[in-house]
Amino acid sequence: MSRNDRRGSDWWWTVDRAALVTMLALVTVGLMLAFAASPAATGGPLTAGDFRYAVKQIAFAAIAVLLLASTSTMSLRAIKLSAAAIYAAAVFGSALVLVMGNEVLGAKRWLDLGLITLQPSEFLKPSFAVLAACVLADREKMVLPKEIVSFLIAAPALLLLVLQPDVGQTFLLLALWGALLFFNGISLVWIGMLAGSTAILGLAAYFVFPHVHHRIDQFFDPQQPGYQMGLALKAFAHGGIAGVGPGAGTVKYHLPDAHSDLIFAVAGEEFGIVLCGFIALLFCVLCVRLLLRSARMGDAFSGLAGAALAIVVAIQAFINMGVAVSLLPAKGMTLPFISYGGSSLFAVALTMGFALAVTRQRSKIGEKDSEIFAFLREPRAA
């Protein structure tokens, strides 16, 4: 970059700096909790653990921050084209998982790439949010209703998620689609019908998938909260208001997935309700800030995409924290920015990078757009 190149300063003054600082704060909290949880994940009550997961998480976080920063500088055209490529790759990866993925507890969700274990389904959400917003914001009439077109885009991903099976990600993608329709101004009657259809699908999952049946039954049984959830509640009770102190937690050594799905319980034990409340507050600030910023955007695509990207992170965070405090049935879903794992951290960095990019205050003069779904428009009369 030359001395006269102002792209860096232009980016700084046009990006949502408050949202960016909030994201970096969440990454910092995640690294702190990685050091707290790593000994429990690598050792046990009677065996010494180490900090190998914390070291890996530092490397993942460095890559994620670079991904977040670089994505946030993209033009709208580049965002749409990137989302199309990422969605196609994520769908292909999710299909590949069914053939050669690692099976854990009866589910195939991960590809072992040697240095990292990748979960392709994590990248379906941000890319679908952008593509669906692109369809719904198109001002031209299409050969099919835009709501149907957006669902057809999601259909291959939904099918692959059900086959894995990953019920949580399936319903999260459906919730994202419903949120996009809501933000686009669909009738509340249709929203009610969609909610009813989702409830029917949830009931079907209860009877079809044994692990869903087991978790739901445990959730509604006050006498048997389940092994994981019972330990998570003990961790919060042990930590109290201010926690037992960094490294002084004991329940975490018995807690399965303490470094990933139940990292919120580790935060509750060692740092208390104070840190848990701070984490929840950061997510609230981030979501509300991006929603308000999206509402002020001058074009429909930026507003829809920004709101959808904010909502998907907010829903995932709510589910993870809700599970940890037994407000929701157990579900293997990571806490964005906080949980250990490259796939989760890279996907949320991509999501928030897209969100920062579409909500930037930019001039439309000279900016080229990409109408990737123009082929679905109705032909104009001569």
10-61 pLDDT, tens per residue?
888 889 999 999 999 999 999 999 999 888 888 776 676 788 889 999 999 9
At 253-272, the pLDDT tens digits run 888 878 888 899 999 999 99
* Lookup result for tokens 């490397």: 59
Q: Residue 271: what pLDDT?
A: 94
What is the mean predicted confidence (pLDDT) over 158-175? 90
Lowest mean pLDDT among 233-247, 248-262, 341-355, 367-381: 367-381
Q: Which range among 123-137, 156-170, 187-201, 356-370 has the greatest average pLDDT?
A: 123-137
Maximum Cα–Cα distance across the chain: 80
Alpha carbon distance 339, 345 (integer Å): 8
Residue 165: cis peptide before it, omega within 30 degrees of 0: yes
**pLDDT at 276 > cutoff 90:** yes
At 169-198, the pLDDT tens digits run 899 999 999 999 999 988 888 888 888 888
More confident residue, 88 or 5: 88
CA distances in angstroms from 206 to 19, 178, 229, 327, listed in the order given = 38, 21, 19, 18
In sequence order, the 6+-apart residues with CB closer than 8 A to the CB of 40 are 49, 249, 252, 253, 255, 258, 259, 266
Reported as a pLDDT band with limits 50, 70 and 90, residue 62 is: very high
Cβ neighbours around 61 below 10 Å, total: 20
What is the full DSSP assignment across 117-164? EE-GGGGHHHHHHHHHHHHHT--S-BSS-HHHHHHHHHHHHHHHHHHT
Tell me the two tokens of residue 43: 């050792």
Q: Which range among 107-121, 130-144, 354-368 has the greatest average pLDDT?
A: 130-144
Q: Residue 214: what pLDDT?
A: 78
Q: Residue 21: what pLDDT?
A: 96
More confident residue, 375 or 209: 209
**pLDDT at 208 > cutoff 70:** yes
In sequence order, the 6+-apart residues with CB closer than 8 A to the CB of 53 are 34, 37, 38, 41, 42, 259, 340
Q: Residue 333: what pLDDT?
A: 85
Q: Residue 83: what pLDDT?
A: 95
**pLDDT at 382 > cutoff 60:** no
Tell me the two tokens of residue 185: 């101004």
Q: Residue 363: what pLDDT?
A: 57
Instruction: Indicate the Cα dihedral angle 308, 314, 320, 321, nearest 10°.
Output: -170
Alpha carbon distance 382, 374 (integer Å): 18
Q: Residue 365: what pLDDT?
A: 44
Q: Residue 33: what pLDDT?
A: 93
At 43-57, the pLDDT tens digits run 776 676 788 889 999
Residue 18 CB-half CA count within 13 A: 13
pTM strictly above 0.85:
yes
At 228-245, the pLDDT tens digits run 778 888 999 999 999 899
More confident residue, 87 or 105: 87
Cβ neighbours around 125 below 10 Å, total: 26
What is the 3-state composition of the chain as percent helix, strand, coil, each rounded to the nearest 5? 65, 5, 30
At 130-146, the pLDDT tens digits run 999 999 998 888 888 89
What is the chain's mean pLDDT, rounded?
86
Q: What are phi and psi of 118, to 5 degrees?
A: -100, 135
Q: Residue 364: what pLDDT?
A: 57
Confirm if 38 and 51 have CB atoms less than 8 A apart.
yes
